[in-house]
A and B are shown apart, each in its own frame.
Chain A
Amino acid sequence: MTDLLAIFIGMALINNFVLVKFLGLCPFFGVSKKLTNAFSMSMAVTFVMLMASAVTWPITHYILIPLDAEYLRTVVYILVIATLVQIIELFIMRTNYSLYSAFGIYLALITTNCAVMGVTLVNTDEGFTFVESMVSALGAGTGFGLVLVLMSGIRERLEISQLPDSMKGLPVAFLVAALMGLAFSGFAGMV
C-alpha cells in the first residue's frame, strides 16, 4: 500500500509530468487560458491515460515480451492510444452528446499528447505491475490536471494585468511555469 502511495505521489508531485518531465506541454500552454477548459482537458487526459495503461500493460507483458519484440513498443503504443481515443470519442458521441460537446475537441488533441504516451513508456521502463501501472497513470493524470488548473487560474488573472507587450501571452506563461517548477522542486525527496 505504501508502495502504491509512493508511486502516486512520485508521479503526481515529485516527477510532475508537466513541470519536471516536460510532457504534455502543448495542452499546458494551449488549453490553459480558461479554467473550465483546463478542467475538462485534464479529466479527458486522465481517463485516456488510465485506459491506455490498462490496455498496453497486457500487450507488453503477454505479447511483446514473450515474443521478444519489445522494440515494436513505440509503434504498438501509439496505435493503441490513437485507436482508444477514436473509440472513446465514438462511444461518447453516441451515448452522451452533451459530454461529447464538452470533451470532444480535447479528445482529438490527446492522440499527440506526449503525456499519455509518456505514462505507458514510464510504466514499461519502471517494470510496474498492472496495479502499479494504473496507480501511476492516475498519479500522472492528477499531477497534469493539478498543474493545468493552477496555471489556467493564474493566466486568467494575467489577462487583466499590465505587462510589457513583448511579455504578453506565451513568454509570461513560460515564466509562470518556471516559478511553478521551482515550487514543485520542493517536493523532491518526499518519498
Chain B
Amino acid sequence: MVLLKLIKRFYAIIFLTLVVAISATLLGLTHSLTADQILRQEHARFMAYLERMFPDMDYFEHEEELYVIYNVDDEIEGYAFIGSAPGYSSTIRVMVGLEDKATVKQVMIIAHTETPGIGDRIEDEDFTGQFAGLPVDRIYLNSDDVDSITGATQSANAVIRAISEAVEEIFKEQSD
C-alpha cells in the first residue's frame, strides 16, 4: 500500500527515469553496433588518400605527427601530415604529402563543407596543384609563391594556414 502510494507520488520521475534509461541502453547498443564500422570507414578513407598520394606505399610509421611512408623494399617513399584551419563555413582539413622533409609532393583537401561553387574551389587542381614542388617554408599567407582564390579568399587562406601551421608545429618540434 505504502509502496503503491510512493510510486503514484513519484510516477512522473520514475517514468522519465525509465525513458532515459531505455534511451541510453538503445543508444549504447547502436553505438556498439556502428562503432567498428565508423572506425573502419575512417581508416579506409585515410588509407585511400595516402595510397592516392603514394601509389608505391606498402606501410607507414608514425614519427610524432608525421607519417613516414615506406615502399615494399623498406625504403622511405615520402612523408605525410594532416593540418586543419577554420575556413568560411567549416573547418578545412588537408593532407600534405612530402617528397623529403623539405619539399611538398601534393596537397589534398580531405574534409570541408565550404560553400559549393565558391569555397569548394579549394579542391580544384588549379589551386592545390600550385603547392607541388614548393619548399615547405615558402608556404604561408601572402607568400609570393602561393596564390589565393579570387572570391574565395577565406577558404583558400584557410588551406594555406592549415599547411603552414602544421609545418611550423611539426618541424619546430623536430629541430629542437
Instruction: Give the segment of B23-31, B55-63, B101-109 that binds chain A.
Output: B23-31
B154 located at the interface, meaning its Cβ lies under 8 Å from any Cβ of chain A in the complex? yes
Let me know if A1 is at the binding interface, CB within 8 A: no
B89 with A72: CB separation less than 8 A: no
For residue A61, give the distance in angstroms from its CB to the closest CB of chain B.
19
Segment 5-47 of A: residues with Cβ below 8 Å from B: 15, 20
User: Which of A15, A20, A75, A126 interacts with B23 by CB under 8 Å?
Assistant: A75
What total of chain A residues lie within 8 Å of the partner, measured CB to CB?
A: 9
A-B contact pairs, 16 of them (CB 8 A): A15-B89, A20-B89, A71-B27, A71-B31, A72-B24, A72-B27, A75-B20, A75-B23, A75-B24, A75-B27, A79-B20, A126-B91, A188-B88, A188-B154, A189-B153, A189-B154
A189 to B31, CA, bound (A): 39
Residues 66-90 of A, flagged 1 when their CB comes within 8 A of B and 0 if not, give 0000011001000100000000000
Contacts of B154 in A (CB 8 A): 188-189
Which residues of A are found within 8 Å of B27, using beta-carbon distances?
A: 71-72, 75
Q: Known pairs A15-B89, A75-B20, A188-B154. 12 more at Cβ < 8 A? A: A20-B89, A71-B27, A71-B31, A72-B24, A72-B27, A75-B23, A75-B24, A75-B27, A79-B20, A126-B91, A188-B88, A189-B154
Q: Complex formed: what's the CA distance from A15 to B90 in Å?
A: 10
Q: How far is the CB of A9 from chain B (nearest CB, A)?
A: 13
SS of B interface (majority) = helix
Count of A-B contacts judged by CB separation below 8 Å: 16
Alpha-carbon distance between A71 and B28 when the two chains are bound, in angstroms: 9
Question: What's the interface size class on B, roughly?
Answer: 10 to 19
Cα–Cα, bound, A26→B89 (Å) = 22
Q: State in angstroms the CA–CA spacing of A101 and B89 once bound together.
A: 38
The chain B residue with its CB closest to the CB of A188 is: B154
Chain B residues with CB under 8 Å of A71's CB are 27, 31
Residues of B within 8 A of A15 (CB): 89
Min CB distance A65 to B, Å, is 14
A75 to chain B: which residues have CB within 8 Å?
20, 23-24, 27
CB interface residues, B 136-167, toward A, < 8 Å: 153-154
How far, in angstroms, from A177 to B15 measured CA to CA in the complex? 43
Closest residue of A by beta carbon distance from B31: A71
CA distance A126 to B23 in the complex (A): 27
